[in-house]
């Protein structure tokens, strides 16, 4: 097989765009939930079975757990075993590059404009791009969108939906996004047909219905379908479930791409299709209610934005694809050298950036690594009460101490989340809860109100730095001193 070099700037751009996308989507692999996903993968490898009960906390130990991430977590842990944090950061960026490149290659008439829009979309989604199984849901949602767009022009049977949702239901709970997208797409197609469904539309609806039992082919069974709705119910007090705060400048690119789409709607000659608009409105609603859904919203917005501006851009000569000039029909040594230099330069930049952002210093910088080291060395007895955002980190770095809570909000439910909030806020029942759970160790960020009262109630600060405070009950501290003296 002979490798054909790009002969036009637009072809060269299509080669280099994935590298540019990876550069934009490379981040420090330190998401608060990444850690318990890694621990889940590690535990399943060691036990040689899929975890269906909690093993990481003492508040829910042994309770049934809907482990919808089992396949993704095995993948993430496998990547970590082979290439550590570098591999995790590289994998996340690669998934993003694949996703946006798939959309880009559908816009063939206006490569330069489409490339600019794709890069802007990547910047907009970057704050929501982290090493978590949801990235695979973003990719599968993009694949579903692309296949349904192809179906509009070539209506064929869709048995691929069965395999898609079988895989999706074992990777991440975001399979529900796929069904919401399908429902909105089918509704839009039906309305465009003036409520007169044709045979092809009925067949697509039938394949969608037939895919439902395939989601039950997972270790969790029917409990899988309770997860998306239950999580929303218990998690509204958690940061990622709050609405986006557009006072934060890094979220402004999200507004830019949205406003560009609205502007494009007023400039294009043909109206947007309902089968595209209804999914977009539905995911926009979810995204503005909860920033957790902003990632899927941007995935759904991407093809709509590209299609709108491609139609507009066809009238602009400078953004249209052109035939190769005669002097580029045979690539000379200078052109090959330029292409190689650009590719190697971007590739080296990507490797160096990934290496810098995935160094242990960068990965652990915002976590209580020094306090964890103190606990490893001194091994005080008793149960640990932890900061919510550090729960996953502690399950990974300090497995000998089960946590009070971590990012699995669906597992802990309203009860444990409310108890955690009562303790850190120093509410009247906080002291009874500390006694009930026999908590002897507390590790929190310095901002929590309870830290002002603990020293007056028999707790001693044993370690403190700029972003963590570690305290022991006085009796636990005395016990530790006696053991250390021996």
The torsion angle over the Cα atoms of residues 17, 19, 24 and 28, rounded to 10 degrees, is 160
**Residue 310 is assigned to a structural domain of this protein:** yes
* Helix, coil or strand: residue 57: strand
Q: What is the span of the domain harbouring residue 204?
A: 9-30+66-319
**Residue 43 is assigned to a structural domain of this protein:** no
315 & 199 share domain: yes
Euclidean distance between the first and final Cα of the chain, in Å? Answer: 71
**Residue 221 is assigned to a structural domain of this protein:** yes
User: How many domains, in total, are found in the chain?
Assistant: 2
* pLDDT value of residue 484: 37
**Residue 51 is assigned to a structural domain of this protein:** no
Q: Residue 110: which of 253, 266, 316, 258 has the closest Cα?
A: 316
* Helix, coil or strand: residue 2: coil
Q: What is the largest CA-CA distance in the chain?
A: 86
Handedness of CA 435, 439, 443, 444 (dihedral sign): negative
Please answer whether residues 437 and 386 qualify as being in contact, where contact means their C-beta atoms are separated by less than 8 angstroms: no
375 & 262 share domain: no
- Token reading at 464: 């403190």
Query: Which of 255, 290, 319 delimits the end of a domain?
Result: 319
* HSE-up (13 A, CA, CB side) for residue 57: 25
Please state, in angstroms and rounded to a whole number, the distance separating the CA atoms of residues 350 and 331: 26
298 & 404 share domain: no
Q: How far is CA 57 from CA 302, 430, 484, in A?
A: 40, 19, 27
- Token reading at 67: 């482990």
291 & 402 share domain: no
Query: Which of 319, 354, 380 delimits the end of a domain?
Result: 319
**Residue 329 is assigned to a structural domain of this protein:** no
- The residues that bridge with 471 in the sheet, in sequence order, are 442, 461
Query: Which of 285, 319, 353 delimits the end of a domain?
Result: 319
286 & 432 share domain: no
Give this prediction's pTM: 0.92
102 & 242 share domain: yes
* Helix, coil or strand: residue 471: strand
User: How confident is the prediction along the chain (486 residues), in pLDDT tens digits per residue?
Assistant: 455 556 666 777 888 999 999 999 999 999 999 999 999 999 999 999 999 999 999 999 999 999 999 999 999 999 999 999 999 999 999 999 999 999 999 877 788 899 999 999 999 999 999 999 999 999 999 999 999 999 999 999 999 999 999 999 999 999 999 999 999 999 999 999 888 888 999 999 999 999 999 999 999 999 999 887 765 455 545 677 789 999 999 999 999 999 999 999 999 989 999 999 999 999 999 999 989 899 999 999 999 999 999 989 887 776 666 555 554 555 556 667 777 888 899 999 999 999 999 999 999 999 999 999 999 999 999 999 999 999 999 999 999 999 999 999 889 998 999 999 999 999 999 999 999 999 999 999 999 999 999 999 999 999 999 989 999 998 755 444 434 333
With helix as H, strand as E and coil as C, how does 129-170 read?
CCCCCHHHHHHHHHHHHHHHHHHHHCCCCCCHHHHHHHHHCC
* pLDDT value of residue 485: 32
Q: For residue 242, count other CB atoms closer than 10 A to its CB.
A: 14
282 & 408 share domain: no
Q: How far is CA 220 from CA 67, 225, 247, in A?
A: 7, 9, 40
315 & 378 share domain: no
- Token reading at 285: 């609603």
* HSE-up (13 A, CA, CB side) for residue 219: 17
171 & 22 share domain: yes
* pLDDT value of residue 293: 93
- Token reading at 242: 């709050």
381 & 301 share domain: no
* pLDDT value of residue 196: 85
113 & 249 share domain: yes
Q: What is the DSSP letter of 193?
A: T
Please answer whether residues 27 and 355 qualify as being in contact, where contact means their C-beta atoms are separated by less than 8 angstroms: no
**Residue 121 is assigned to a structural domain of this protein:** yes
Handedness of CA 75, 76, 80, 85 (dihedral sign): positive
Please state, in angstroms and rounded to a whole number, the distance separating the CA atoms of residues 459 and 441: 9
**Residue 286 is assigned to a structural domain of this protein:** yes
23 & 117 share domain: yes
Q: Residue 350: which of 5, 25, 6, 14 has the closest Cα?
A: 25
* pLDDT value of residue 227: 81
**Residue 335 is assigned to a structural domain of this protein:** no
Name residues whose C-beta falls within 8 Å of residue 320's C-beta, 6 or more positions apart in sequence. 109, 110, 313, 314
């Amino acid at each position: 097989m002979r490798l054909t070099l790009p002969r036009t700037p637009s072809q060269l751009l299509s080669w280099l765009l994935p590298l540019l996308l990876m550069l934009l989507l490379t981040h420090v692999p330190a998401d608060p939930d990444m850690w318990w996903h890694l621990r889940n993968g590690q535990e399943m490898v060691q036990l040689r079975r899929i975890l269906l009960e909690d093993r990481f906390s003492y508040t829910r130990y042994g309770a049934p757990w809907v482990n919808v991430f089992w396949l993704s977590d095995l993948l993430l842990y496998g990547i970590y075993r082979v290439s550590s944090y570098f591999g995790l950061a590289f994998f996340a960026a690669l998934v993003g590059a694949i996703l946006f490149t798939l959309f880009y290659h559908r816009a063939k008439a206006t490569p330069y404009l489409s490339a600019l829009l794709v890069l802007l979309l990547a910047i907009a989604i970057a704050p929501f791009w982290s090493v978590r199984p949801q990235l695979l849901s973003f990719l599968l949602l993009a694949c579903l969108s692309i296949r349904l767009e192809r179906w509009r022009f070539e209506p064929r049977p869709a048995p691929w939906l069965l395999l898609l949702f079988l895989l999706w239901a074992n990777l991440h709970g975001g399979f529900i996004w796929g069904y919401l997208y399908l429902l909105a797409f089918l509704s839009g197609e039906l309305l465009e047909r003036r409520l007169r469904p044709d045979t092809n539309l009925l067949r697509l609806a039938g394949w969608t219905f037939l895919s439902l039992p395939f989601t039950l082919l997972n270790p969790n069974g029917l409990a899988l379908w309770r997860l998306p709705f239950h999580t929303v119910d218990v998690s509204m007090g958690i940061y990622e479930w709050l609405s986006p705060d557009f006072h934060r400048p890094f979220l402004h690119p999200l507004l830019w791409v949205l406003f560009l789409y609205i502007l494009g709607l007023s400039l294009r000659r043909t109206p947007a299709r309902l089968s595209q608009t209804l999914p977009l409105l539905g995911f926009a609603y979810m995204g503005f209610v909860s920033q957790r859904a902003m990632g899927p919203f941007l995935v759904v917005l991407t093809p709509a934005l590209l299609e709108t501006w491609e139609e507009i851009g066809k009238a602009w000569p400078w953004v249209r694809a052109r035939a190769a000039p005669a002097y580029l029909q045979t690539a000379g040594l200078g052109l090959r050298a330029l292409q190689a230099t650009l590719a190697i330069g971007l590739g080296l930049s990507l490797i160096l950036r990934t290496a810098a952002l995935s160094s242990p210093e960068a990965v652990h910088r915002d976590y209580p690594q020094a306090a964890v080291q103190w606990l490893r060395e001194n091994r005080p007895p008793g149960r640990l009460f932890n900061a919510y955002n550090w729960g996953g980190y502690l399950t990974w770095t300090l497995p000998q101490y089960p946590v009070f809570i971590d990012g699995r909000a669906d597992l802990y439910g309203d009860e444990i989340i409310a108890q955690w909030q009562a303790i850190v806020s120093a509410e009247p029942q906080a002291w009874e809860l500390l006694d009930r759970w026999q908590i002897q160790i507390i590790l929190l960020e310095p901002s929590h109100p309870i830290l002002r009262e603990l020293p007056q109630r028999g707790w001693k600060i044993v370690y403190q730095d700029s972003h963590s405070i570690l305290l022991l009950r006085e009796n636990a501290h005395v016990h530790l001193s006696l053991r250390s003296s021996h």
